[in-house]
Structure 1
């Protein structure tokens, strides 16, 4: 068994697609109309057959309280692996990404957390080698 798709709830699929592709560097894998929304999945350009991130509309009534609680407590909704947290922090900061937690040593990993502009906190991490 392996992870095929993981969801990130977003307020606006078009805005999220732009941020996740143009700023973070993901690539659209599927963009299939489903009613008023899309089955919109992204993949890493480094692993186009890897796990897909589904940019899921946040309209379900349970999503709002869930995301608000995570945001209020500073808890990231997911974590993306990067080779070098400090370098990625600098790259994303230069692109205007707002970090809620600057790079820090967390034992076996370095981590940082940013606001994805779509209602979520996202953590980046890199294992120490």
Structure 2
């Protein structure tokens, strides 16, 4: 068993696709129209056949209270592994990305948390 698709709820699929591809560096994998929305996934360019991230519309009534509570409490909706959190932090800050947590060492793990501009906090992490 392996994880094939996981997702984040987004308030605007076009804005999310732009952020996740143009800023974070993922690549679009799948785009299938589904009425007013799309089945829209991105993947890491380092693993194009790996786990897909679904940029899922936040239209269900339960989503807004859920995502609002996560953001209010500083809880990331997803966690992405990077080689060097400090280097990614510097790169993304230069692109205008807002972080809610600067790189922080926690034992063998260093993390930072960013705002994806689409309603989520995303954690970047690496192990030392």
Shared fold by TM > 0.5? Answer: yes
What is the root-mean-square deviation in Å for CA atoms of aligned residues? 0.4
1:1-129 aligned within 5 A? 1-128=1-128
Structure 1, unaligned runs of 5 or more: none
SS in 2 for 1:50: coil
Q: Any runs of at least 4 consecutive aligned residues in structure 1 with deviations exceeding 4 A, and if so which? A: none
Structure 2, unaligned runs of 5 or more: none
SS in 2 for 1:100: strand
TM-score, normalised to structure 2's length?
A: 0.99
Tell me by how many angstroms 1:107 deviates.
1.2
Tell me by how many angstroms 1:106 deviates.
1.2
Tell me by how many angstroms 1:79 deviates.
0.3
**Deviation by residue 1:41-75 (Cα, 9 ceiling, x = unmatched):** 00000000000000000000110110011011011
SS in 2 for 1:69: helix
